[in-house]
């Protein structure tokens, strides 16, 4: 976890939630419990391994303890609850923004940022399922927010408008990642060919527009694999959002 000096020196951190203090490295775990072979980083990494393999539904303090080879009670030296653990996992799993376009115009930069976030979220199938109950507070999530705002630096937008743009684009990214996850799970579980199923259900008189879309191949993925098709569809939606933002900037 990041060292405490990543936070401004003049801020009082005593009232911050414990999960936030742990994420920023400004609170050490308690003194009870095993000291050798276990750390907050190991606990969080083990929890990510469990969630990657079994999903959030399979995540529990006892399951993480088993993954580590320690008792369940030993984990409470490092985190107070499963909710705190999930918050730390979500921040650690998304990582720092890297490999993003930082030159050129704002549109290239924001597009790169959006694709980077989409791929980072999609790297862990459980990530889109994490409940968003508050604004981002972890160091990695705030680094992504910082990078998004920096991409709009030369747009002439007000600071509050920049924040609105970045948050709305991020919500689009997370929503599309969640949609992709649900669609992939459904396809694996049922192996349903949607383009062939719909004509069996839709009467041409009641659903002429849908029947026309089917006939026009709108529901066909073609020769692309699911992941490629889903990202292609994501980029189409992203481009339309960027078109709207371009009008907002007066470009």
Q: How far apart are CA 126 and CA 137, in angstroms?
A: 19
Residue carrying structure tokens 């990078």: 147
- Phi, psi at 156, each rounded to 5°: 85, 0
Stated as kind and residue range, the H or E segment containing 18 is helix 18-23
Residues 115, 147 contacting (CB under 8 angstroms): no
Q: From first to last of its 251 residues, what are the pLDDT tens digits of the chain?
A: 554 445 555 457 778 888 999 999 887 765 555 556 799 999 999 999 999 999 999 999 999 999 999 999 999 999 999 999 999 999 999 999 999 999 999 999 999 999 999 999 999 999 999 998 888 899 999 999 999 999 999 999 999 999 999 999 999 999 999 998 888 887 676 666 777 888 889 998 999 999 999 899 887 765 556 667 788 889 999 999 999 999 999 87
The CB-based long-range contact list for 124-127 (8 Å cut-off, 24+ gap) reads: 124/48, 124/51, 124/52, 124/93, 125/52, 125/55, 125/181, 126/51, 126/52, 126/55, 126/56, 126/59, 127/90, 127/93, 127/94, 127/177
Location of structure tokens 């994420």? 23
Q: What angle is formed at CA 158 by the lines to CA 157 and CA 159, rounded to 5 degrees?
A: 115
CB distance 22 to 88 below 8 Å: yes
DSSP state of 130: S
């Amino acid at each position: 976890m990041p060292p405490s000096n990543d936070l401004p020196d003049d801020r009082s951190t005593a009232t911050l939630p414990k999960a936030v203090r742990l994420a920023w490295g400004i609170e050490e775990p308690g003194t009870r419990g095993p000291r050798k072979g276990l750390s907050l980083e190991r606990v969080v990494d083990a929890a990510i391994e469990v969630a990657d393999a079994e999903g959030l539904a399979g995540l529990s303090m006892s399951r993480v303890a088993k993954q580590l080879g320690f008792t369940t009670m030993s984990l409470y030296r490092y985190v107070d609850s499963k909710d705190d653990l999930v918050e730390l996992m979500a921040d650690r799993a998304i990582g720092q923004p890297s490999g993003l376009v930082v030159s050129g115009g704002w549109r290239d930069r924001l597009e790169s940022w959006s694709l980077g976030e989409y791929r980072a979220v999609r790297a862990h199938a459980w990530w889109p399922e994490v409940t968003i109950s508050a604004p981002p507070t972890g160091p990695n999530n705030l680094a992504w927010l910082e990078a998004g705002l920096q991409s709009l630096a030369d747009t002439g937008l007000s600071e509050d408008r920049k924040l609105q743009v970045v948050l709305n684009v991020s919500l689009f990214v997370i929503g599309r990642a969640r949609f992709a996850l649900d669609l992939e799970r459904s396809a694996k579980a049922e192996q349903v060919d949607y383009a062939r199923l719909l004509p069996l259900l839709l009467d041409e008189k009641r659903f002429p527009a849908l029947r026309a879309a089917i006939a026009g191949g709108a529901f066909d993925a073609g020769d692309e694999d699911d992941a490629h098709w889903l990202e292609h569809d994501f980029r189409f939606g992203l481009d339309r959002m960027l078109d709207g933002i371009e009008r907002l900037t007066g470009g």
